[in-house]
Structure 1
Amino acid sequence: MKLSLSVRIAEAACKTRLNIPFAELAQMAADLGYAALCMRASVVGVQSSDAELQQVKSIVDAAGLGISMITADMNIPQNNDQSPQALQEFEPTLHVAEMLGSPLVRVCLKQESDIPHAQRACDLAAERGVQLVHQFHPACLFEELERSIEVLKQIDRPNFGVIYEAASLLMCGQPYGESAIRQIRPWLKNVYVQNLVITEDGPDHLETWCLGDRPFQLLPYWDESGRGINFREVLAGLNAVDYDGCFTIHQAEGIVTADDARNYAARCKEWVESLNS
């Protein structure tokens, strides 16, 4: 697996901008030995000019990094009612993917009527060698494991798949271990990792369709209390199905200084390496 770092670690709470310059984040990731960056519209997206896209691509190239995936529309991380609209006019998103050289584009589906738009977007993307991916996530068509597989079969496109994310499955009361990974293997395109515990006095909340409001607390990846995600089980499951794509550090941290970003990303890389020891 290739280790990828999401720019989300340094996003502001609004999810529309970074707290530190992108060039510093990219060089830091390269210095630490990450293989790729997971890009979001907080850096560049459908709102960006070609000059801005070219500048970001030149920074990534100069650092010797790849781009594991793009989220080109700011609505998608917000998971709001507008998030599926990018599928209806998909050319701007494809343009961003082509300019940045990204093989994967994250999308969002929230209702059955979004499925035909996803199929058409896949057909457009296939002409350019681009794949669409959907994260397991609360309050969308990819909340529950079995329903997600049904939707994947309905879309029925070889260039549409899923981003496995154990914390979202846990949030929605779903299994996330080897059995779940085996079920989604035909569509598995990317892996996100976050760590959290569902707790009644959690400081944060997410609304799910299947279980209602879910209070939770984010945990460090390296938390050893046993309360959060069993990442050794996750890694064993990924290895069992010979997954060789990206493993992306995706947890929101609200980091505001370059030094903090470097220290956090270094600790995350050490943690990943410890899972393989």
Structure 2
Amino acid sequence: MEISLSAMVMESPDKMGRLTNEEFIKMAADIGYHGICMRASLAGTQTPRENRLELKRDLDKLGLKSTMVTADFDVPLNNERGPLAMRDIGPHLDVAEDFDARLLRVCIKSWSDVKWVQRAADEALERGITLTHMAHGQSMFETVDGSIEYVKRVNRRNFALTYETTNWVWCLQDVGRETIKRIAPYLCYVYLKNTKMWDGGSKRSLRWYPGWVNLDDAVFGEPDTIDFVEILGAMEEIGYDGVVTVHQSPVGDETIEHCAQHCYDYLTEIGNFTPRAGAPA
């Protein structure tokens, strides 16, 4: 497996970047990540193409790849405009192509989106790109059963599931070994983020199911939180050899740099990751 860092680690609540592009990608390279998960906070449909290509050259110089692209702000915000990208997927595919990314994240919020997903996937297939939806609250991928059913309904070989830990935890879904075995045929990408859901949580988040939940952010490895040892072990058991991306934000007064480094150190200690060529020893 390879390990990647999401631009989410340096984003403000409105999804804007708190580091320059140069600072972020150099940090990822210096730590040892294989690549970055590209988000609009770095570059997207709103970014002039010459700027996207300049960033791609900078990534190449550092030996980093773009493991997946989220090409606008509406998709990660999971708002009502998110699904509109599939009605005009071309500009989003352009961003993915500019970064040589084979995965493009989309947003789906109803069964009526199926025909648009199919059309977008057909267009993406012509360019060798797979569309993916992550496990996410207030979407058609809020539950394990719902996610599997939607991928089956779309019925396109280049439409697949991104596993993500916290959203399914918040929706009272199992994220361990048995679930990973179930989703194995539909899996193309892995997001890891930690959380602690409990009645005394200082934050609240609204899900379609079960409604409002109380939670706290948690650093990787914190007791009584998500069991990443089991998760990475299960990924090996199903033969997953793709990318595992740190989708974590700093907790409390933690710095961006500390968060990125700690997540890398923790996951590479418990998981079987291939070292990046040229990465720091």
Q: Give the TM-score normalised by structure 1.
A: 0.94
Kindly state the Cα deviation for residue 51 of structure 1 after the two structures are TM-superposed: 1.3
Structure 2 equivalent of residue 274 of structure 1: 269
Contact 2:250 2:259 in 1 (8 A): no
Q: Is the 8 A contact 1:3 1:247 kept in 2?
A: yes
Deviation at 1:8, TM superposition (A): 0.7
Partner AA of 2:267 in structure 1: V
Give the 3-state SS of the residue equivalent to 2:138 in structure 1: coil
Corresponding residue for residue 261 of structure 1: 256
Distance 1:264 1:209 in 2: 30
Alignment of 1:151-190 (within 5 A): 151-190=150-189
Contact 1:70 1:105 in 2 (8 A): yes
Task: Compute the displacement of 1:256 (Å).
Answer: 10
Q: 1:5 maps to what in 2?
A: 5
> Which residue is 2:24 aligned to?
25
1:254 Cα deviation from its structure 2 partner: 8.1
Report the Cα distance in structure 1 between the residues aligned to 2:252 and 2:131, rounded to whole angstroms: 29
- How far apart, in 1, do the equivalents of 2:258 and 2:250 lie? 12
Kindly indicate whether the alpha-carbon contact (under 8 Å) linking 2:218 and 2:251 is maintained by their aligned counterparts in 1. no
Contact 1:207/1:213 (8 A) holds in 2: yes
- Unpaired segments ≥5 residues, structure 2: 273-281
Shift of 1:214: 1.1
Distance 1:3 1:255, change over 3 A: farther
Match in the other structure for 1:42: 41
When the two chains are superposed, the root-mean-square deviation of aligned CA atoms in Å is 1.6
8 Å Cα contact 2:250/2:256 also seen in 1: no
Task: Flag structure 1 segments of 5+ consecutive residues without an equivalent.
Answer: none
1:113 is paired with a residue whose SS is: helix
Map 1:1-277; keep pairs closer than 5 Å: 1-15=1-15, 17-223=16-222, 225-226=223-224, 228-253=225-250, 260-276=255-271
TM-score by length of 2: 0.93
Structure 1 runs of 4+ with >4 Å offset: 254-257
**d(CA) in 2 for partners of 1:32 and 1:252?**
16
Question: Does structure 1 conserve the Cα–Cα contact (< 8 Å) formed by 2:219 and 2:251?
Answer: no
Once residues 262 and 253 of structure 1 are traced to their aligned partners in structure 2, the CA distance between those partners, rounded to angstroms, is 9
Offset at residue 199 of structure 1 (A): 1.6
Q: Is residue 172–residue 210 contact of structure 1 (8 Å, CA) maintained in 2?
A: yes
Same amino acid, percent of matched pairs:
34
Task: Tell me the secondary structure at the aligned position of residue 132 of structure 2.
Answer: strand
Shift of 1:252: 2.2
- Name the SS for the 1:252 alignment partner: coil
Q: Match of 1:150, SS?
A: helix
1:276 deviates by 3.3
Structure-2 separation of matches of 1:254 and 1:88 = 36
Quick check: 2:131–2:160 contact (8 Å CA) kept in 1?
yes
Q: In the TM superposition, what whole-angstrom CA distance separates every residue of 1:27-54 from its partner, at most 9, and x where no partner exists? A: 1211111101001011111111111211
Structure 1 219/20 Cα, relative in aligned 2: closer, same or farther at 3 Å?
A: same
Question: Distance in 2 between the 1:213 and 1:129 partners?
Answer: 39
Determine the C-alpha separation between the residues in 1 that align with 2:94 and 2:271: 37
Taking the aligned partners of 1:214 and 1:263, their CA distance within structure 2 comes to: 28
Instruction: Report the alpha carbon displacement of residue 203 of structure 1 after superposing the two structures with TM.
Output: 2.0
Question: What is the CA-CA distance between 1:222 and the residue it aligns to?
Answer: 2.1
User: Offset at 1:255?
Assistant: 9.9
Verify the 8 A CA contact 1:27 1:63 in the aligned structure 2: yes
Counterpart of 2:276 in structure 1 is: none
CA distance in structure 1 between the aligned counterparts of 2:253 and 2:79, rounded to whole angstroms: 26
* Deviation per residue, 1:233-256 (Å, 9 max, x gap): 111111110101111011122899
